[in-house]
A and B are shown apart, each in its own frame.
Chain A
Amino acid sequence: MTFNRRSLLRAGGGLAAGSLLPLSIVKLAFGDEAQDFTFAFISDSHIQQIKGTEFVRNWDRGLIRAVAECNLMRPRPDFVVYGGDIAQLAKPEEIDHGLDMLSALRYDVKYVMGEHDYYLDLGEYWSKQLGDQYYSFDHKGVHFVVLNSILTYDDWTFNRWSSGEERMSVMAGLDDPRGSPFMVGEKQRKWLKKDLSKIDKSTPIVVLSHSPLQKIFRNWNFWTEDADDVQAILAPFDKVTVFYGHVHQIQYNQIGNIAFHSAMATAWPWPYPGSYAQAANHLPVLTVPMNRGDPFFERDATGWQFIDMHTGRADVHYSLPQNENRVVAFNEKTGRPEDTEFQDEDTRIPPQFHY
């Protein structure tokens, strides 16, 4: 039996609802679909040291599971992107323990810097282990750009804190009012412009960052201060897709030519923020702990994603343990990413009114 690869992926995403690309079955005919491939995206594991060789079990299990599931994908993803926040407090022990678990992946891994990897030593140990904090590469006709989007104002970074530990602990609080907004910064934006200057405008661009390169909610740093400037650099290209971690929830959006997709965390979910556009914001000010009450299934509302790139567009398959898997796919008709199942009013999961 030989199936056309495209029809097969469609079946995995649309028809067989809830399945995550069960593709092992058939011989794949790749033919001339040169820009078609899959990659996996794992993010936000927040590996946390308790003491010595003791780490928070729950976060370990989330990463272990994502890695194990990822290794089972058929066809095999071409590579894996790790979306940042390997560690909780950027300690070398946490980064090393996380990388140790990630080493079980049978694929090449591209790493993105997260703020939890950075603010202890300003990324020194991370870079020693993983190399450049921003870079680009080409894969099957798609140009990938990795940015370090979690930088902030120099004054905040260098002048306010008695130690790296203190700086890290402030940035580690979701809604700590002493925090500071993320940014890509002028240096990287210049580099980005130069990097993209060699690229044809019809080449599909994929940007990988930790924070959203769009402005969602400043109080929680679901935000990048210079997102508009970065978007302007990406504007001339026909097809741009941005993937980010950080928000620990499913988000998708289209701004002009740019499609945005977030990644689930393997560690824990965040609630949805109030929109900054609302007139009043009544969210409690302090302080969301980096954990949650005891849900029986620790993996509930966590997950990882498998991305199907085709003709320069991305369909994101979310693997959600103990939940129905979801697929957010680019709709060529409406020109934006949409949830393949829950878009229509009557297929949505109804909100909960009774507590």
Chain B
Amino acid sequence: MFARSLLMGTVFACAATTGLYAAEPLGLPPVPVPKDNPMTEEKVKLGETLFNETRFSMTGDVSCSTCHDPEKAFTDSPLQFSQGINKLAGTRNAPTVVNAAYMGAQFWDGREPTLETQALQPFLNPVEMAMPSHDAIIEVVRGDKDYRAAFKKVFGVDRDDITIDLVGKAIASFERTVISGDSPFDRYMYGGEEDAMSEAAIRGMDLFRNKARCVSCHTTSQTFALFTDSKFHNLNVNFDSISEGVEELASGFLERKAEGADVDVTVLTDKAAAELGRYTVSERVQDIGAFKTPTLRNVAVTGPYMHDGSLKTLREVVEFYNRGGRLTDEAPINDFQDSGIRPLDLTEQEIDDVVAFLEALTSPQFADVAQE
């Protein structure tokens, strides 16, 4: 069960949670912990076990860590779309769990507000773990002697009082320990190590903050950097596939939702509806095609990129932004594109420099993750 404990140990050692562990890694603020789910060492341990539990899938071979693999910086890189049971593919690229604890909402479209509730959705999604119900999960837990003992110890509950919400709480507690800073950028910016970053990365940081406009959404501050505004933006990634007929698609989706269609299932199984992004949750026309700003930490080892994994390299991503949200000058710009996105006029050298900066955001525990 704890085959990956070595790597986990690294993450643990630097995770600070309400005084349980050492101070946060350089470059991160304290981890926010909800009042109704305080961290304990046992709870985190239970959460990690649940995170790796394959019996929570219909075929018995998929766990959370299938798509959020600790050895791949908690992604399934280099897959474009995540694969659940029977290698069924969803519609989105797996976001990393690393530092998800700081996100204002979970999933690319923010359809779940907390780690606790997020953790419960993939169990049931037909292209992820495909269990028939949360009761089926609870049955597995209640039928396992070790789990019964662990839930008793962590939550003080007997067999019959084990609920799916407690499963979510334990997994969330584990995820709050999966945080990482201490990158060359952090050592340069917050640690005062002037030689922690290359000259190219230092030039790239200046571009990141100014000409390349990255920092407007991938925010940093005087004392820490999360590299996300926790907001949602339409960048013009693959929106072209639904531009034609978007009115019918959007109103059709809302009708299905009102009739009871599950958002989580729909957006992972319906390619067109998936591109509506935040709109599927908020139902605001301003959110059409908008997706959450992801963190940039460890971005060099978590490709491919964007919500649909459509860009393979960081250089491609910077070129995409440099052209105002497209890969070629001929590609269409959709009507709903976020007004922050516009041509940047970066030179080839400047693009390289921005990439060098992004490569300086890798934390030491993920530095060895191979990129294929």
Contacts of A325 in B (CB 8 A): 284, 286
| A18 touching B250 in the complex, CB below 8 Å, given contacts A65-B336, A299-B339 | no
Decide: B335 and A24 in contact? CB cutoff 8 A: no
Partner of B251, one of A1, A24, A65, A300: A24
CA–CA, A62 and B213, complex, Å? 20
Cβ-defined contact, A68 with B335, below 8 A = yes
Interface hits, B80-107 → A, CB 8 Å:
none
A97 CB, min distance to chain B CBs, angstroms? 16
List, in ascending order, chain A residues with CB within 8 A of B250's CB: 24, 72
Tell whether, in the assembled complex, residue A26 and residue B286 are in contact, meaning their CB atoms are under 8 Å apart.
no
In the complex, what's the smallest C-beta–C-beta distance from A322 to chain B, in angstroms? 7
Name the residue of chain A whose CB is nearest to the CB of B231: A322
Produce 1/0 per residue, A279-323, CB < 8 A to B: 000000000000000001111100000000000000000011110
A24-B286 in contact (CB<8A): no
Report whether A298 and B340 are in contact in the complex, using a CB–CB cutoff of 8 Å: yes
- Tell me if A296 and B216 are in contact (CB < 8 A): yes
Nearest A residue to B254 by beta-carbon distance? A24
| A321 CA / B233 CA spacing, docked (Å) | 11
Q: A321, B339: Cβ atoms under 8 Å?
A: yes
Pairwise interchain contact B258-A25, C-beta atoms closer than 8 A: yes
Q: Fill in one digit per residue for A45-68: 1 if any B CB lies within 8 Å of its CB, else 0.
A: 000000000000110011011011
- Whether, in the assembled complex, A71 has its beta carbon less than 8 Å from a beta carbon of chain B, the answer is yes
Interface string of B261-285 (1 = CB under 8 A from A): 0000000000000000000001111
**Complex CA–CA separation, A320 to B288 (angstroms):** 14
Cβ A72 vs Cβ B284 within 8 A: no
Q: Does B350 make an interface contact (CB < 8 A)?
A: no
**Cβ-defined contact, A25 with B255, below 8 A:** yes
Q: How many A-B residue pairs lie within 8 Å, measured between CB atoms?
A: 66
Cβ 8 A contact of B335, one of A18, A67, A74, A296: A67
Give Cα A62 to B339, complex, Å.
9
Contact A72 B251, CB 8 Å, known A19-B284, A319-B286: yes
Query: What class of interface size applies to chain A in its complex with B?
Result: 20 to 34
Name the B residues within 8 Å of A321 (CB-CB). 286, 339
B247 within 8 A of A: yes
Chain A 216-248, CB within 8 Å of chain B: the 1/0 string? Answer: 000000000000000000000000000000000
A100 CB → nearest B CB, Å: 14
Smallest Cβ-Cβ distance to B217: which chain A residue: A296
Rounded to whole angstroms, the CA-CA distance of A283 and B288 in the bound complex is: 40
Q: Are B246 and A72 in contact (CB under 8 A)?
A: yes
| Bound-complex Cα distance A319 to B339 (A) | 15
B-chain residues with CB within 8 Å of residue A18 when the two chains form the complex: 284
B338 within 8 A of A: yes
Interface residue? B45 (CB, 8 A): no
* Complex partner residue of B342 from A22, A57, A64, A300, CB under 8 angstroms: A57
Contact B285 A319 (CB under 8 A): yes
> Complex: how many Å from CA A18 to CA B251?
18
Contact B339 A61 (CB under 8 A): yes
A25-B258, A65-B335, A298-B340 given. 11 additional CB < 8 A pairs?
A1-B258, A19-B283, A20-B286, A57-B342, A58-B339, A61-B339, A64-B335, A68-B335, A72-B251, A73-B285, A106-B247
Chain B interface residues toward A at CB < 8 A: 213, 216, 246-247, 250-251, 254-255, 257-258, 282-286, 288, 335-340, 342
Q: List 5 A-B contacts (CB under 8 A).
A: A22-B254, A24-B251, A72-B251, A299-B339, A325-B286
Which 3 pairs between the two chains have the least Cβ-Cβ distance?
A68-B335, A25-B258, A298-B339
